[in-house]
Each structure stands twice: as C-alpha cells, then as structure tokens.
Amino acid sequence: MKIAVFPGSFDPITLGHYDIIKRGVGLFDKIIVAIGVNAEKKYMFPLEERRKFIEEAFANEPKVEVVTYQGLTIDLCKKVGAQFILRGLRNPADFEFEKAIAHTNRELSQIETVFLLTAARTSYISSSIVRDVLRNGGDYTILVPDSVRVK
C-alpha cells in the first residue's frame, strides 16, 4: 500500500492544498493530511477547527485521513507506515526550501518526498494571504474550500 503524508499547519487549508490532496489521491492508496503542532507558532485557527475544515472538505474521500502531530514528520511517517511525503510547490522559493528538507529527510530515513506543482489557478494562494484577507474583511471564500467558513 502506497501511503503519503501531506504535512502542514493548514491555518487554514487553501484551494492550493485542496488541489494537491485531490491530485495525490490518484497517486497514492492513502493520504494522511498531518497537521503539525508547533508550540512556538501563533495560529489564527485552533487546531480542532483546522482539523474540522479538512475533514469536512474530504468527507466523501475515503483515501484521505487527517491527523495531528508534534515532532519530526519522518517520525510520523514511520509511525503510520508512510513511504512518502507529499509536498506542493508554488514557486522557485518553495522548491529551494522544500529541497533542503527533502534531502534531510532522505538522509535521516528511507522516506521519499514527492513534489506536485500547484495548479496555475491556485499558485498564488497561501495560508498567510488568506489570513491577511480575513483580518482585513476581504472575501476569503474564493481562496479556500467551502468547509472553511469563519463566523
């Protein structure tokens, strides 16, 4: 069984994340969307709300599971039996950053990183842009799955 972990903070999940997961479903038997917890980081959305956004977005997709974790992604991969880490790339800066992490992960384990280029229609979207739009009262709904609704 080919299992991939798609790690991130997903604060919140964006249409870019959604697209990578949907496309990953065709490549892997199971995708574990792993919400990383970093005590040093301030989040806009609580962990359980971020989890709910993702679970609702993929409620009809049995190949997608959502978990939370702390620590190294490769340790989570070993724990859940994943052979792959799935990552999306929006631009050259993402590639340079992700390449260093992928090399480190491969050095520390036998886990391969698989990169998917984001779709052109979502390549400009990031969680930080969504948060900025939200803070300033803009229409964030065009940037996120329908499951992300702020009261």
**Do the annotations mark residue 17 as ligand-binding?**
yes
**Do the annotations mark residue 125 as ligand-binding?**
yes
Tokens standing for 45?
């959305």
Question: Are the CB atoms for 51 and 34 separated by under 8 Å?
Answer: no
Return d(Cα 2, Cα 65) in angstroms, integer.
14
Q: How many helices (H) and strands (E) does the chain have?
A: 5, 5
**Do the annotations mark residue 109 as ligand-binding?**
no
**Do the annotations mark residue 41 as ligand-binding?**
yes
Question: Which residues 6+ apart lie within 8 Å of 83 measured at CB?
Answer: 2, 3, 4, 77, 110, 111, 112
**Do the annotations mark residue 128 as ligand-binding?**
yes
Q: Could you say which DSSP state residue 111 is in? A: P
Return d(Cα 90, Cα 92) in angstroms, integer.
7
**Do the annotations mark residue 58 as ligand-binding?**
no
**Do the annotations mark residue 126 as ligand-binding?**
yes
Residues serving a catalytic function are 17, 41, 90, 127
Q: Which amino acid is at 146?
A: D
**Do the annotations mark residue 129 as ligand-binding?**
no
> Which residues are part of a known binding site for ATP?
9-10, 17, 88-90, 98, 122-128
> Which residues are part of a known binding site for substrate?
9, 41, 73, 87
> Which residues are part of a known binding site?
9-10, 17, 41, 73, 87-90, 98, 122-128
